């Protein structure tokens, strides 16, 4: 059982910064931040979960079954992540590519402490065993917690490429030959950028990335020595009662400094036949995925190929909704559509096989999802893109980017799009 207490805060921006800084003392942290992008499917401005009472950590073998059991027993909020390689639990697939990060493939925890921010109201929801700490925690956060430990950071971080440009072109051409042969229609092809023997301050890195990106599904995750610093613009899947909401992104354009030029880029993206085709293909895939759980005839495209503007880029986003039976198990609903269509391709299983064959790294948490389940079986998860991943023990920092390869893809243009998506992460790490 949880005890709630609410407070009104006058300077919520400063409080958020202090709150995330205060959270750094804990070994299990999930921070979700909307950055003011409120929409019909938002339920908070920011949400923090810390300090595990119980946890589940596993590889992909029977991962969803284990999560189903954990979620059912907890009957409480649980927060955590699903890595892309849980595809191996959903289908008969494998992941044998190089993994420099070494994250578990699934991790969730039941937090003792949850703090939710909506407008200028802060709500503390603590398990009864720690509810006597609510007032002292609020006072500590408001007073400004100092950083728990000073972090030695690497100066002049050197980012390396897992594959060089010519190799990327070669692999995209192989992907195109699969498309022309009819094996697939589209696949998301990704590449990794990384730095070894490198130490960063996860908190400060998140603050920098969030400031220049202001993404609607930003997240900071810590699981012991593993960190995710994410400026994700994309929702994977949300469940509200009997309603499912998925908002896939396909289609990216750069920003311009001059408003007139920026408007032209928006219109060009809206009418670009290649970008629209990519988006519509993935919408069809998402519709198919949701129909596995949905009530017959309830899958609807609410929004098709709408262009949204973010700090770094313009994005083409669609919204697909469906109704599911109220008795549907939430973990089963996720399993039916995992991994998300925007990060795989169509047909999905064929695309995932070809991706594994042509990519040079194990995706892990990149293109997985971070989020939470509520006590009554609702959930909300983002797509882990535009993100920095860090293993503090191994001193290994990584970010990956990719794009949809379709029949009309030009390797050189796809590479340029990757660099555009990587810009914010590179800027934050290299300065």
Q: Which residues contact 146 (CB under 8 A, 6 or more apart)?
A: 21
Specify whether 125 is catalytic.
no
Q: How far apart are CA 386 and CA 233, in angstroms?
A: 8
pTM for the structure as a whole: 0.95
Q: How far apart are CA 421 and CA 426, in angstroms?
A: 10
pLDDT tens per residue, range 255-282:
999 999 999 999 999 999 989 998 999 9
pLDDT tens per residue, range 172-194:
999 999 999 999 999 999 999 99
Specify whether 348 is catalytic.
no
Q: How far is CA 321 from CA 101, 236, 297, 299, 367, in A?
A: 34, 12, 11, 6, 21
Contact 255, 226 (CB under 8 A): no
Catalytic pick from 234, 275, 356, 417? 234
pLDDT tens per residue, range 315-326:
999 999 999 999
pLDDT tens per residue, range 77-133:
999 999 999 999 999 999 999 999 999 999 999 999 999 999 999 999 999 999 999
Residue with tokens 């609807």: 300
Contact 318, 275 (CB under 8 A): no
β-bridge partners, 121: 8, 118
Q: Which residues contact 167 (CB under 8 A, 6 or more apart)?
A: 360
CATH architecture of 2-138+158-430: 4-Layer Sandwich (3.60)
Catalytic pick from 18, 239, 250, 335? 250
Q: What is the pLDDT of residue 39?
A: 76
Q: What is the pLDDT of residue 147?
A: 59
- In this structure, what is the dihedral angle of CA atoms 262, 267, 272, 275, given to the nearest 10 degrees? 70
User: Is the torsion defined by CA of 260, 266, 272, 274 positive or negative?
Assistant: positive
DSSP tag of 328: S
pLDDT band at 37 (very low <50, low <70, confident <90, very high): confident
Among the listed residues 83, 38, 33, 66, the one whose alpha carbon sits nearest the alpha carbon of residue 343:
83
pLDDT tens per residue, range 368-406:
999 999 999 999 999 999 999 999 999 999 999 999 999
Q: Which residues contact 220 (CB under 8 A, 6 or more apart)?
A: 20, 29, 30, 31, 33, 202, 203, 206, 227, 228, 229, 230
Q: How far apart are CA 278 and CA 292, in angstroms?
A: 22
Question: What percent of the chain is helix, strand and coil (3-state, nearest 5)?
Answer: 35, 35, 30
* Percent of the chain topping pLDDT 90: 93
Q: Is 306 exposed, middle or buried (0-12, 13-18, 19+ CB in 10 A)?
A: middle
Residue ranges covered by each domain of the chain: 2-138+158-430
pLDDT tens per residue, range 5-24:
999 999 999 999 999 999 99
């Amino acid at each position: 059982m949880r005890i709630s207490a609410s407070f009104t805060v006058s300077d919520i921006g400063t409080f958020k910064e202090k709150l995330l800084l205060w959270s750094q003392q804990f070994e299990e942290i999930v921070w979700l931040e909307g950055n003011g992008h409120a929409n019909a499917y938002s339920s908070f401005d920011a949400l923090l979960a810390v300090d595990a009472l119980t946890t589940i950590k596993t590889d992909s073998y029977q991962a969803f079954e284990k999560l189903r059991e954990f979620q059912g027993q907890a009957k409480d909020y649980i927060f955590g992540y699903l890595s892309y390689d849980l595809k191996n639990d959903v289908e008969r697939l494998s992941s044998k590519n190089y993994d420099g990060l070494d994250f578990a493939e699934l991790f969730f925890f039941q937090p003792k402490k949850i703090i939710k921010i909506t407008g200028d109201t802060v709500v503390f929801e603590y398990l009864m065993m720690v509810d006597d700490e609510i007032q002292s925690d609020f006072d500590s956060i408001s007073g400004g917690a100092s950083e728990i430990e000073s972090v030695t950071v690497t100066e002049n971080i050197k980012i390396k490429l897992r594959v060089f440009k010519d190799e990327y072109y070669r692999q995209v051409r192989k992907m195109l030959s699969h498309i022309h042969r009819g094996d697939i229609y589209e696949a998301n092809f990704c590449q990794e950028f990384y730095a070894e023997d490198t130490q960063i301050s996860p908190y400060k890195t998140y603050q920098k990335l969030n400031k220049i990106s202001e993404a609607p599904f930003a997240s900071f995750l810590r699981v012991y020595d593993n960190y995710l610093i994410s400026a994700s613009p994309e929702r994977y899947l949300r469940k509200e009662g009997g309603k499912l909401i998925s908002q896939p992104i396909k289609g990216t354009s750069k920003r311009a400094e001059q408003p007139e030029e920026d408007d032209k880029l928006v219109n060009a993206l809206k009418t670009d036949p290649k970008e629209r085709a990519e988006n519509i293909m993935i919408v069809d895939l998402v519709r198919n995925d949701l129909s596995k759980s949905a009530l017959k005839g309830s899958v609807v495209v609410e929004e098709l190929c709408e262009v949204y503007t973010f700090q770094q880029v313009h994005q083409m986003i669609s919204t697909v909704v469906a109704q599911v039976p109220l008795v549907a198990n939430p973990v089963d609903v996720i399993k039916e559509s995992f991994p998300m269509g925007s990060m795989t391709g169509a047909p999905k299983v064929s695309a995932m096989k070809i991706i594994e064959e042509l990519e040079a790294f194990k995706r892990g948490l990149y293109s997985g999802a971070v989020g939470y389940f509520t006590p009554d079986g609702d959930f909300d998860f983002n797509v882990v893109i535009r993100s920095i991943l860090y293993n503090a023990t191994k001193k290994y920092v990584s970010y990956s980017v990719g794009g949809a390869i379709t029949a009309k893809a030009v390797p050189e243009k796809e590479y340029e799009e990757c660099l555009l998506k990587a810009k914010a992460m590179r800027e934050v790490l290299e300065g």
